[in-house]
Chain A
């Protein structure tokens, strides 16, 4: 076991942990805003895949990780337009549309990747931002402080959203749209506009999360690479109950389990990887069983708002 605690090993563990946590955190932050406004976005998986693919293509074409991330965000935002028009504006079923977006996102990216890149499978150039001074520190130096600059932007974005949601009028409007849309309507706000913004933000963040996964974390795209991460984001959102800090922490825990899985494959310990990948889900179910009562879900979550309807 002693070889597990070398500095190189621990920094590799931290890198794997962050690579697993950041995409999830981004997606879950977006989902949090959506759910706070009363829209349960089940299509987040599809939006992430679109973001991952678009980000990958643009990063390949331009050679810039930053442009790739922007492209991924735009891809996710475009996918969320489907949900905005059909669900928020026309009031069509969120669950059916969410599943449709997930299917379409997975299908389209898989078909396109298969057509264009599967033979060569090119890789995106990596970039890392070594923070002067801090990156010289042992262990954390070449793990946390040598991450790509995108990493810091992702964290900054989460902080900004946390502030907006809790401390601004805009955030109050979002929360009102999810708690009691009729009161927002009465107060002169527009439920439709508020929810549209929230879903657009959610799609953008899901796209960012997907792009982080392909462009930064793995430097490559594989069909269905999110592998259920979108659904985990929904669960993280539910568990953290609108607190962005909790979203970040739960994502880190998830990242840690992913990293443990990777680590176990490297060691001689014979623990099935499926068991490790199952762990976060088992934990979620146990948490739900124990704290089932306290997991609060807005009563209007998933219901389109119709003015005057009871």
Chain B
């Protein structure tokens, strides 16, 4: 549905940062693209093919489960776009897009912030807990700004320890962010029950905001203005990444922290700054989502936006504006898919399987594409040797005949 958009984006994208670690492949890929000039089409294929393959395999799984895949996908489109349903999808895009940008910032620096759940929920619980009273005490406009800043601060603060450990000792940030995330999720539950509990209800949840004081809608729609915030943030970050010295430093740092050090970039500070920006953006996503869509928070609630949006960040080649169509696609898919799964009598977790398939096909497509561009064999050297000898024997025999 967004092929033209993707095409223009792919052509306009200045750099193609691969999802792989920087190494022997990254630099030659860029050079090869410029030489052959087939990159735009190739990029589109590489970005869309994994999704198509994943949907095809998912259809087979549906068939195996005795469901009609066409009915399922039809229902996804029905419930995700048709009628007024597109508005739900746009509402869902807001947090997803902001989290996608948060991931892009750290991934470009070759750092992994996998603690999005904890950051999101902690930022969210602060907003949900304080919003009703703060809005009643002051004006909504003022409260929105204060709460959003608070959520940004909380989200950023929750990344600080992993960032510092990484910067200071090189401690693996994947593990530390995951640990902090789990602590954050537990802390969120405790905050909901022991600090922000709504005294009027039995179930563990915060006081719900009045619908009238939630974020205002974009005129003519039922989509809250958080959507515009997300789009603006995407454009701003696209500009920062592709047109400012910070963006260049970020890419140099991502390509190699060591060479970054040689050109005068403070790698330690860069690590911490990137993590803080990432956490802050996730806090912003939480604030927008709570203020605009949910209005309250309950225990053990985790929308798990980060896990599911991650593949699309890579498919968009870590470009903030470029990921908009992908996030839109997934929003439609998730919005419609949740209802479609219920209709077909499947667990909603089926969507996870599809996301996982996209991830797997993405890495394979990327691998095949890179090897093809470099004109290399698809088999790695070591594996080739085990295949080569019998193959060579075969070819010798066939040429002899």
What is the CB-to-nearest-CB distance from B56 to chain A, in angstroms, rounded to a whole number?
A: 16
Q: Is A293 part of the contact surface with B, judged by Cβ < 8 Å?
A: yes
Q: Is A274 part of the contact surface with B, judged by Cβ < 8 Å?
A: yes
Question: Which one, B23, B172, B193, contacts A238 given CB within 8 A?
Answer: B172
What is the CB-to-nearest-CB distance from A67 to chain B, in angstroms, rounded to a whole number?
A: 24
* B168, B179, B351 pick with most chain A CB within 10 angstroms: B179
Q: A93-B363, A115-B346, A288-B165 are in contact. Are A272 and B193 (CB under 8 A)?
A: yes
- Whether B363 pairs with A92 at a CB distance below 8 angstroms is yes
Chain A 177-189, CB within 8 Å of chain B: the 1/0 string? 0000000010000
Question: Which one, A86, A115, A282, contacts B363 given CB within 8 A?
Answer: A86
Of A13-21, A52-60, A101-109, A214-222, the segment with at least 4 beta carbons within 8 Å of chain B is A101-109
Q: Is A66 part of the contact surface with B, judged by Cβ < 8 Å?
A: no
Q: Is B218 part of the contact surface with A, judged by Cβ < 8 Å?
A: no
Q: Is A297 part of the contact surface with B, judged by Cβ < 8 Å?
A: yes
Of A152-160, A166-174, A228-236, the segment with at least 4 beta carbons within 8 Å of chain B is A228-236
Q: A104-B356, A278-B182 are in contact. Are A223 and B19 (CB under 8 A)?
A: no
- Whether A99 pairs with B171 at a CB distance below 8 angstroms is no
A114: chain B residues within 8 A (beta carbon): 346-347, 349
B372: chain A residues within 8 A (beta carbon): none
Q: Give the B-binding residues of A (Cβ under 8 A).
A: 40, 42, 82, 86, 89-93, 95-97, 99-104, 106-108, 110-111, 113-115, 185, 190-192, 223, 228, 231, 234-235, 238, 272, 274-275, 277-278, 281-282, 284-285, 288-289, 292-293, 295, 297, 301-303, 306-310
Consensus secondary structure, chain B interface: helix
- Whether A100 pairs with B168 at a CB distance below 8 angstroms is no
Kindly state the interface size class of chain B when it binds its partner.
35 or more
B170: chain A residues within 8 A (beta carbon): 297
Give me the 7 closest cross-chain CB pairs, A-B, nearest first: A107-B352, A104-B356, A100-B359, A278-B186, A107-B353, A110-B349, A114-B347
10 additional A-B pairs beyond A104-B356, A111-B350, beta carbons within 8 Å, are A82-B360, A89-B380, A91-B367, A104-B360, A223-B347, A238-B172, A274-B186, A278-B183, A281-B183, A306-B24
What is the CB-to-nearest-CB distance from A39 to chain B, in angstroms, rounded to a whole number?
A: 13
Question: Which one, A104, A234, A278, contacts B353 given CB within 8 A?
Answer: A104
- Whether A111 pairs with B356 at a CB distance below 8 angstroms is no
Q: Is B213 part of the contact surface with A, judged by Cβ < 8 Å?
A: no
- Whether B19 pairs with A277 at a CB distance below 8 angstroms is no
What is the CB-to-nearest-CB distance from A292 to chain B, in angstroms, rounded to a whole number?
A: 4
A285's closest neighbor in chain B, by CB?
B179
Interface positions of B from 294 to 324, Cβ below 8 Å from A: 307-308, 310-311, 314
How far, in angstroms, from A309 to B112 measured CA to CA in the complex?
23
B355: chain A residues within 8 A (beta carbon): 103, 107
B178: chain A residues within 8 A (beta carbon): 231, 234-235
- Whether B190 pairs with A274 at a CB distance below 8 angstroms is yes
Q: A274-B186, A281-B183 are in contact. Are A107 and B356 (CB under 8 A)?
A: yes
Q: A104-B352, A104-B357 are in contact. Are A111 and B347 (CB under 8 A)?
A: yes
Q: Give the A-binding residues of B (Cβ under 8 A).
A: 19-21, 23-24, 65, 112, 114, 161, 165, 168-172, 174-176, 178-180, 182-183, 186-187, 189-190, 193-194, 307-308, 310-311, 314, 346-347, 349-357, 359-360, 362-364, 366-367, 380-383
Question: Which one, A103, A277, A307, contacts B356 given CB within 8 A?
Answer: A103
- Whether B161 pairs with A108 at a CB distance below 8 angstroms is no
Q: List 22 A-B contacts (CB under 8 A).
A: A89-B383, A90-B380, A92-B366, A96-B310, A101-B356, A103-B308, A111-B65, A113-B347, A114-B347, A185-B382, A231-B182, A272-B189, A275-B190, A277-B186, A285-B161, A285-B176, A285-B183, A288-B165, A293-B169, A295-B169, A309-B24, A310-B24
B21: chain A residues within 8 A (beta carbon): 93, 302-303
- Whether A190 pairs with B359 at a CB distance below 8 angstroms is no
A224's closest neighbor in chain B, by CB?
B349
A223: chain B residues within 8 A (beta carbon): 347, 349
How far, in angstroms, from A26 to B354 measured CA to CA in the complex?
29
How far, in angstroms, from A275 to B190 measured CA to CA in the complex?
7
How far, in angstroms, from A89 to B308 measured CA to CA in the complex?
26
How far, in angstroms, from A274 to B204 measured CA to CA in the complex?
13
- Whether B383 pairs with A97 at a CB distance below 8 angstroms is no
What is the CB-to-nearest-CB distance from A103 to chain B, in angstroms, rounded to a whole number?
A: 4
